């Protein structure tokens, strides 16, 4: 049982969780999802699966189920073995109720080097994957992505600006964006000022080691956030932060 402990205490049914994690109406809402150990690690042996808990899997699925598109960095897509979304009966019913397309596509951000032409996120996806890259990516590689079924968007000269990725997704009618990392992509979205919500699961583990933090990139002025909700199942803590509009 997942319980909300702030701003009010209450037990949460599935419908309550759906309302908490639904994307607000409007042209764009970008939510970033991460799971972290209690000491700040975001991976174990290079992947996040070792940190996931039952409560985290529930909110992770809600992020997928209620989004127009799932946004991910190429390094994370390869490390985590992304193959695109494959809704089961429950997800399909949920997406119907919320007026969403049957399957959310995956959007992958890459400089080119980290995304092979035969990446599973392209070749095994049920709907075409959107690949965002720069003009510096070799043209034969871009052609190979397209030949394998991807839609390829060149949105920068040498890098892939987060703002350009998001604006393109919105123009494509994919404004409810579920970002699942990795750290470099999250950092670029913070720099661009386009993160609307940060969803963080603090899992009951100590990891130490050299695992990365959730966001990496250039130094920016701290972006103020407002705490929206705190949930727990008695082990994990599920935090939702919204971008502050008062600063």
pLDDT tens for 193-233 read 999 999 999 999 999 888 788 888 877 888 889 999 999 99
* CA neighbor of 245 nearest in space, from 232, 228, 220: 228
CATH class of 25-243: alpha beta
Q: Would you give the distance in Å from CA 210 to the centre of its chain?
A: 22
Per the structure block, which two tokens stand in for 129?
Answer: 């994957």
Q: Is the per-residue pLDDT at 246 higher than 60? A: no
What is the DSSP pairing of strand 151-156 with strand 130-134?
Answer: parallel
Band (247; pLDDT cuts 50, 70, 90): very low
Band (47; pLDDT cuts 50, 70, 90): confident
Q: Are the CB atoms for 2 and 231 separated by under 8 Å? A: yes
Per-residue confidence (pLDDT) for residue 225, from 0 to 100: 94
Q: How far apart (Å, rounded) are the C-alpha atoms in residues 76 and 42? A: 12
Q: Within 10 Å of residue 240's Cβ, how many Cβ atoms?
A: 19
Q: Is the per-residue pLDDT at 182 higher than 90? A: no
pLDDT tens for 114-168 read 999 999 999 999 999 999 999 999 999 999 999 999 999 999 899 999 999 999 9
Question: Average per-residue pLDDT in the chain?
Answer: 93
Q: How far apart (Å, rounded) are the C-alpha atoms in residues 244 and 237? A: 21
Is the pTM of the predicted complex or chain greater than 0.85?
yes
Q: Is the per-residue pLDDT at 172 higher than 70? A: yes
């Amino acid at each position: 049982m997942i319980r909300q402990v702030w701003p009010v205490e209450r037990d949460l049914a599935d419908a309550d969780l759906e309302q908490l994690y639904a994307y607000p109406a409007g042209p764009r809402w970008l939510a970033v999802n991460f799971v972290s150990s209690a000491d700040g690690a975001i991976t174990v042996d290079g992947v996040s699966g070792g940190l996931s808990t039952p409560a985290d899997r529930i909110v992770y699925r809600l992020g997928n189920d209620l989004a127009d598109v799932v946004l991910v960095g190429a390094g994370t897509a390869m490390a985590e073995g992304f193959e695109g979304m494959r809704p089961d009966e429950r997800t399909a019913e949920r997406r119907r109720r919320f007026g969403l397309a049957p399957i959310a596509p995956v959007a992958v951000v890459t400089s080119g080097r980290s995304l092979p032409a035969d990446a599973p996120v392209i070749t095994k996806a049920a709907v075409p994957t959107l690949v965002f890259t720069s003009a510096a990516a070799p043209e034969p590689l871009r052609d190979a992505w397209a030949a394998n079924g991807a839609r390829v968007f060149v949105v920068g000269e040498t890098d892939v600006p987060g703002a350009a990725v998001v604006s393109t997704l919105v123009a494509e009618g994919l404004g409810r964006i579920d970002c699942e990392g990795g750290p470099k992509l999250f950092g670029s979205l913070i720099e661009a000022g386009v993160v609307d919500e940060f969803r963080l699961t603090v899992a009951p583990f100590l990891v130490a080691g050299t695992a990365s933090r959730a966001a990496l990139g250039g130094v920016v002025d701290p972006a103020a956030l407002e705490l929206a909700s705190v949930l727990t199942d008695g082990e994990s803590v599920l935090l939702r932060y919204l971008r502050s509009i008062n600063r």
